[in-house]
Amino acid sequence: MSEILAQSLATPGLWAMLATCFVAGLVYGFAGLGAALVFMPVGTIFLPVEDAIAAFNLANIVSIFTVLPRALPQVDRRGTATMVLCAVPTVALGIWVLKLADVTLLRWAVTAVAGITLVALVGGLRYRTTPGPAARAAVAGATGFVGGATGLLGPVLILFQLAGQDSVARSRATILVFLSCTSILLLALLALQGAMTASAIPLGFLMFLPYGLGTKVGQALFDPAREGEYRVVSYLIIAAAILLGLPVWD
């Protein structure tokens, strides 16, 4: 056990990743989104993509205790649970793509879609209807696929929620609950498909404390009455993630 811990502490870039984990947790606790968008561009500098995804999602388990209890009463539990279940098969498909496909090409495609959608949101695009089960299932499926293939579970769902008519508090809670639950499923599917290495596990546990502390601080800063500021912060997080995630920085 001590040898495994020593190897983990000797991981190149560990302290940068731990600091990034705190910032990711801070953003997640405040905005309910963007944790993986903050961490993955940094984590993949030092780790293989599969290890970065596994370690970060292990750390994200702590959100079950820090942010999930407050968010759960604010969501449509049946609808959100259905979306989580719809995401499972596409997460598995995304992991399969991650192992076999040209990930750089996939990242360009995700970046392009996210960028176009962000421009539309900033320009005031909203949908006025209440999304039905089919629409939510489609969004969940797309979210799962992108998450499995890139480690970014959030972008599709985030953009869907921000373009809708839900209140800030409910949108944030829905995103928090969905992402917290699907992160656990992603871990299980990574293990089943042989995409989780033994070295990622202790790294994930080392990230528990800074990530959990960040989520608690961020949650304390959130004020649902400040909807304008919330949306601005959300858009800035997405824009920064798009820029940081461009494959040109590899």
Q: Which residues contact 213 (CB under 8 A, 6 or more apart)?
A: 22, 25
Cα separation, 72 vs 93, in Å, equals: 28
pLDDT per residue as tens, the chain (250 positions): 566 656 767 678 899 899 999 988 988 888 787 788 888 888 888 888 888 889 999 999 988 888 888 888 988 888 889 999 999 999 999 888 888 877 677 767 767 777 777 787 778 777 677 778 888 899 999 999 988 888 888 778 888 887 877 888 888 888 889 988 898 888 889 888 887 888 888 888 899 999 999 999 988 888 877 767 877 887 787 788 778 767 777 6
Each domain of the chain, given as residue ranges in start order, spans 2-249
Residue listed under structure tokens 């500098």: 45
Cα separation, 53 vs 48, in Å, equals: 9
Distances in whole angstroms, Cα of residue 31 to Cα of each of 20, 39, 120, 219: 16, 15, 20, 8
Q: Name the pTM for this structure.
A: 0.81
For residue 9, the tally of other CB atoms under 10 A from its CB is 12
Tokens for 210, please give them: 């800074």
Cα separation, 94 vs 135, in Å, equals: 20
* DSSP 8-state assignment for residue 241: H
Cα separation, 170 vs 185, in Å, equals: 23
Cα separation, 149 vs 25, in Å, equals: 22
Q: What number of H helices and E strands is found in the chain?
A: 14, 0
- The per-residue pLDDT for 9 is 72
